[in-house]
Amino acid sequence: MARYLLLRLGDAIPTLFLVLTLVFIAMRILPGDPALAALGDAALPEQLAEFRERMGLNVPLWQQYFNFLGGVLTLDFGRSLLSNTPVLTLIAQNLPYTIELTLAAMAMGIVAGIPMGVLAATNRNKLPDAGVRLFSLIGYAIPDFFLGALLLITFALNLGWFPINGAGTDFASRMHHIFLPALTLAFVKAAFLGRLTRTSLLEVLGKDYVRTARAKGAREKRVIYNHGLRNAMLPITTGLGLSLLSTLSGSVAVELVFNRPGIGRLLIDAIAQRDYAVIQGGVLVFAVFVVLINLLMDLVYVVVDPRVRVS
Amino acid sequence: MALNRRSFLELAAATTALTAIGVQASHAQDADTLRIGIAANGPRHSDPNLTTQGSDNWATEQMYEQLVRPDDGRFALTPEEYLPTLATEWTQSEDAKSWTFKLREGVQFHRNYGEMTSEDVVFSFERAIKEGTNRTILSNIESVVATGPYEIAITLKQPDVNLLGTSIFNNNTSIVSKKAYEEIGGEAFATDAVGTGPYELVQFDPEFGTRLKRHEGYWGDKAKIANVECVYIADTTARTLALLAGDVDIIEAVRAPGWIDSILQRDPTLKIDMTTPGSFNTLHINLTRKPFDNLLVRQALMHAIDRPAVAAALAPMGGVMAGLQPDFFPAGFKTEDLPAELQYPYDPEKSKALLAEAGFPNGISFDSLCSQREDYSSTMLIVQELIRPAGFNMNLIIGDHTAYHADNRSDKNTLAMHSSSYPPIPTQIYFQQLASASEVKSDGSGGGNYSHYGVAMPGIDDLLNQALTASDYETYLDLCKQIELQVLRDLPLIGLSTLGFTAVRSAKVDLGYEVESGYARWRFHRATKTV
């Protein structure tokens, strides 16, 4: 098991290296001048030149690249070109909000999605099934930012039940602030997980061992949960991993619509302003999460399905 | 963890209870706190010497002061209109090169950092000259020295009859505490500076914004509202909703056609505060691109752009520009006061005739780059439609705002729109957008003269140099008016419209004065709020 884990971690290093290199190249290819973005379009040539020198933007690209990689190895991601704040500080300030939002959305999505899938599968072609399928269709079709705005207008502006923006300070206000953004992200998760659970469960419920369990007189609830759902968990686990990744990426739009702090909002601003160091640091955080989630999924496979362990 | 029915119900009950508590906390209205929703993702600096994004200045405007200021809500149109602030009186030598300022006694810095003296003023100016973000405007200052505990002398390299406007009333030359800087340290000072203004910094929070409280030791009338909070909400929908829901009291407006109407439809009680002129939206004609090197083509373009229509489309924020200065600025002209041949009334037929005379009877087609930012894209889309009937087929390539400016700075554009704010110091726009010293370069090392005026054809350099070194104000203004006329004759740069900086305010907030002109920020020290 430890060897398996080490091998997987070893695979992650070239992936992260590749991501960092691609981001570095992509940002330099993208038109736009960080000095101009920082100092404004009325800045004079000498001000721009001095800014580039101060921020190390005037050295050759290969040197900037090695400076950047050297910094990453020592966990020094540089400073924001715009605010001069260390990138690590910016990430540390924003990451908890994104993690909090992602986990809340996942929790909501799981709590709503899996029981919905079970309900649909156990009532195949009946009204609850049709309802869940319709919900899934809407969930897939509706974009995050649109749903977010809709919820914001209805529940925050018109009904006044929730705050319009921010993330809150104490525990109670943080819970209050996170509800609508998490619900926005959870809507799609629930649709996806509901549909996935339905399909997986239906497939399992048609298997011989389920028929055998029923023939042996096992209670229907036991058949569905112990024999059915437990065996349907492998594809659902994959779905959970994918959901987690899409929730993380979806947080970008939601943080913007709900004006919540977070890595997504930090990145959007940094990209618009060509704040290279922040973009590189922010993307690295996302990449590390993707790698870790994939690793987690691999480990869960091993636990859920012993056949993976053998192979 | 298995989630059974009981634990699910417990969790749901807890969430509902917390939500109920939160509703009360969030919607509590506080008459002693004024909240403004700012159109950016977060604050960057609170040190007036380091701000680069305009939105930071909403906070610095409340916290810092200069030696002189214009009255609240307006620009000082002439040197006489500046009010004594941290200086009580000032004199200038006949050649306008030596200036002395007597400082106000008893002015206290925030957080018990003591009384402001000439040492702080000299320190603030020297810091601005050496490390500030806008050093160019201070490059004419030879020295700033203390001539007493409450007096300083400024010596200039060249005369500047407009020193109060060019250098003294400037965000960068706000007065900060030398003692605080030495104690707090340069790096921390960037987000924790100490000034003398009616509000002092309480918290600089990159996620939330800036929190300020009333400066109880303020030398003048103390601020009426105890706290000001600058909240950063970049997304336009979120910002609009925040105002409508009462989460914030004021927001920066979206400067796009129809936005004001739509928010007023939602809540007609809202108040609109707007500066005139606001931004100067100008259109550079690249004189090195054929056929725009031909004066007839440029005249045709000028007659094809219905400039009053451009301004009207941006109503109520848009204003007409007869030349490059708004008509109420000292060097500005009203259209009817211009010579007839420089008025360029909208006339597509004349425009077509001029194009034909220039050798383009079938019109011309060309590409132009444009920023996607709402004020740029909406203005240029209007221009595109206006000039089409006259035979100008402009293919607009709309893209990212940062990339757009970089492309302009690399001389890649044909008709480059530029939006910038200027005080009533006419030489600033001439120097930045028309002087040969600011000519754009293809390697990006040049300035903001995207038309190559003064290089591709003779420009206004001589007149500008004379204006910049004039030792009396009337001569200065006369030279600036000559520049206006020459630019209208040569047409390297077209004044499209002005676009007021706008904020929308809850009817519960009274600013205490009218916003008429000035920069894209104003003070809240006279504001009151009812619940």
One-letter amino acid for residue B191 of the chain: T
Whole-angstrom distance, CA of residue B284 vs CA of residue B272:
31
Average pLDDT, chain B: 90
B168: pLDDT confidence band, cut at 50, 70 and 90?
A: very high
Select the more confidently predicted residue: B512 or A3: B512
Cβ atoms of residues B368 and B395 within 8 Å: yes
The whole-number average pLDDT for the span B343-372 is: 95
Task: Provide the whole-model pTM.
Answer: 0.81
> What is the arithmetic mean of pLDDT over B148-152?
97
Interface test with A, best of B3, B38, B41, B53 (most A CBs within 10 A): B41
Share of chain A above pLDDT 70, in %: 97
Locate tokens 């869940």: which residue?
A132
In terms of Cα–Cα distance, which of B475, B498, B474, B495 is closest to B484? B495
Q: How confident is the model over B388-402, as pLDDT tens digits?
A: 999 999 999 999 888
Work out the pLDDT band at A310, boundaries 50, 70, 90: low
Instruction: Say if residue A311's pLDDT is above 60.
Output: no
pLDDT cut 90: percent of chain A above it: 14
pLDDT score of B15: 40
Long-range contacts, A146-150 (Cβ 8 Å, 24+): A147/A184, A147/A187, A148/A180, A148/A181, A148/A184, A148/A253, A148/A254, A148/A257, A148/A258, A149/A257, A149/B237
Q: Which tokens go with A247?
A: 């929730």
CB B226 within 8 A of CB B218: no
Tokens read off for B446: 């040049």
Q: Which helix (H) or strand (E) holds B142?
A: strand B141-148
Mean pLDDT across A168-192: 90
What is the C-alpha R_g of chain B?
A: 25
CA of B38: how far to CAs of A131, B62, B371, B520, B531, in Å? Answer: 43, 14, 21, 11, 22
Using 50, 70 and 90 to split pLDDT, how confident is the model at B407?
very high
Give the pLDDT of residue B383.
95
Chain B neighbors of A93, CB-CB under 8 A = 206-207
- Sort out which chain B residues have CB atoms less than 8 A from A259's CB and list them: 232-235, 238-239, 242
Q: Does residue A47 belong to the interface with chain B, where contact is any CB pair within 8 Å?
A: yes
Q: pLDDT tens digits for A280-290?
A: 898 888 888 88
Which value does ipTM take for this structure?
Answer: 0.73
Q: Measured in whole angstroms, how far is the alpha carbon of residue A171 from the centre of its chain?
A: 23
Q: How confident is the model at residue A234, as a pLDDT?
A: 78
Give the mean model confidence (pLDDT) for residues A80-99. Answer: 89
Q: Are A117 and A293 in contact (CB under 8 A)?
A: no
Kindly report the nearest CA distance between residue A75 and chain B, in angstroms.
21
Q: How confident is the model at residue B304 (pLDDT cuts 50, 70, 90)?
A: very high
Facing residue for B41 by CB, picked from A47, A258, A265: A265
The pLDDT confidence band at residue B22, using thresholds 50, 70 and 90, is very low
Per CB-CB distance under 8 Å, the chain B contacts of A111 are: 3, 8
As given in the structure block, the two tokens for residue B311 are 């301004």
Question: Rounded to 5 degrees, what angle do the CA atoms A208, A214, A217 make?
Answer: 145
Residue B20 above 50 pLDDT? no
User: Quick check: B4 pLDDT over 60?
Assistant: no
| A178 compared with A7, residue with greater pLDDT | A178
Residue B46: name the closest of B256, B232, B283, B303 by CA: B232
Sheet with B502-505, strands from edge to edge, namely B199-205, B209-214, B227-232, B33-38, B250-252, B502-505, B271-274
Distance CA B321, CA B277 (A): 9
> Which of B26, B509, B512, B522 minimizes the C-alpha distance to B269?
B509
Distance CA B424, CA B328 (A): 9
Does the pLDDT value for residue B11 go beyond 70? no
Top-confidence residue, A166 or B364: B364
3-class SS shares of chain B: helix, strand, coil, % to 5 = 35, 20, 45
pLDDT of residue A307: 67
pLDDT greater than 90 at residue A10: no
Residue B12: pLDDT band by 50, 70, 90 thresholds?
very low
On whether any CB of chain B is under 8 Å from the CB of A179, the answer is yes
Q: How far is B398 from chain A (nearest CA, A)?
A: 13
pLDDT band at B295 (very low <50, low <70, confident <90, very high): very high
- CA pair distance B47, B188, nearest whole angstrom: 10
Looking at residue B21, its pLDDT comes to 39
The whole-number average pLDDT for the span B195-216 is 93
Phi, psi of B325 (to 5 degrees): -110, 140
> What is the dihedral angle through the alpha carbons of B460, B463, B468, B472, rounded to the nearest 10 degrees?
-150
Mean pLDDT, range B315-341, rounded to an integer:
93
> What residues in B contact A255, CB-CB < 8 Å?
none
Note which residues in 5-24 of chain A have CB less than 8 A from chain B: none
pLDDT at A143: 86
Please report the residues numbered 78 through 117 in chain A whose beta carbons come closer than 8 angstroms to any beta carbon of chain B.
Answer: 82-85, 90, 93-94, 97, 111
Q: Which residues contact B190 (CB under 8 A, 6 or more apart)?
A: A84, B45, B46, B47, B50
Does B446 contact A at CB distance below 8 Å? yes
Mean pLDDT of A248-276: 87
Please give, rounded to a whole number of angstroms, the shortest distance from the CA of B176 to a CA of chain A: 20
Q: Is a pLDDT exceeding 60 seen at residue B212?
A: yes
- Return contacts of A4-8, CB within 8 angstroms, 24+ apart: A4/A298, A4/A302, A5/A295, A5/A299, A8/A295, A8/A298
CB contact under 8 A, B231 and A36: no
pLDDT at A31 > cutoff 70: yes
Least confident of A232-236, B7-11, B470-474: B7-11
Express as a percent the part of chain B with pLDDT over 70.
94
Q: What is the nearest CA distance from B276 to chain A, expressed in angstroms?
A: 20
Using a CB-CB distance cutoff of 8 angstroms, which residues of chain A are in contact with residue B49?
Answer: none
Chain A: residue nearest B16 by CA?
A176
The CA-atom distances, in angstroms, between B107 and each of A33, B82, B117, B177, B211 are 42, 19, 8, 11, 22
In this structure, are residues B180 and B490 in contact, taking their beta carbons and an 8 Å threshold?
no
Contact A280, A224 (CB under 8 A): no
> Taking CA B166 as the corner, what is the angle to CA B160 and CA B171, rounded to the nearest 5 degrees?
150
C-alpha dihedral over B399, B405, B411, B414, to 10 degrees? 50
Q: Is the dihedral of CA A127, A129, A132, A137 positive or negative?
A: negative
Q: Average of pLDDT values for B139-148? A: 94
Q: In whole angstroms, what is the distance from residue B127 CA to residue B124 CA? A: 5
8 Å CB contact of B23 and A268? no
Which residues on chain A are in Cβ contact (under 8 Å) with B134? 47
Q: Do A259 and B42 touch (CB under 8 A)?
A: no
Task: Tell me what percent of the residues of chain B surpass a pLDDT of 90.
Answer: 76
pLDDT tens, residue by residue, A205-253? 777 777 787 777 777 777 777 777 777 777 888 888 888 888 888 888 8
Spell out where B286-391 has E strands: 318-319, 364-371
In 3-state terms, what secondary structure has residue A259?
coil
| Residue A2, min C-alpha distance to chain B (Å) | 25
- At B512 the pLDDT is 96
The tally of CA atoms less than 13 A away on the side-chain side of residue B244 is 22
DSSP for B56-75 reads GHHHHHHH---SEEPPTTS-
What per-residue confidence (pLDDT) applies to B253? 93
CB atoms within 10 A of CB B30: 14
A164 in contact with chain B, both atoms CB, cutoff 8 A: yes
Lowest mean per-residue pLDDT among A132-146, B214-228, B240-254: A132-146
Q: Give the model's pLDDT for residue A98.
A: 92
> If pLDDT is split at 50, 70 and 90, which confidence band does A57 have?
confident
* Average predicted confidence (pLDDT) for chain A: 84
Residue A88, classified by CB atoms within 10 Å of its CB into exposed (0-12), middle (13-18) or buried (19+), is: middle
- For range A167-187, the mean pLDDT: 90
**Best of B19, B38, B235 to disrupt the A interface by mutation (most A CBs within 10 Å)?**
B235
Q: Which amino acid is at B440?
A: V
Please state, in angstroms and rounded to a whole number, the distance separating the CA atoms of residues B41 and A122.
48
pLDDT band at B141 (very low <50, low <70, confident <90, very high): very high
Rounded CA separation A119/B118 (Å): 78
d(CA B343, CA A161): 57
Size of interface A-B (CB pairs under 8 A): 158
Instruction: Please state the rounded mean pLDDT for residues A32-47.
Output: 77
The pLDDT value recorded for residue A1 is 66
Contacts of B133 in chain A (CB under 8 A): 39, 47
> Is the CB of residue B136 less than 8 Å away from at least one CB of chain A?
yes
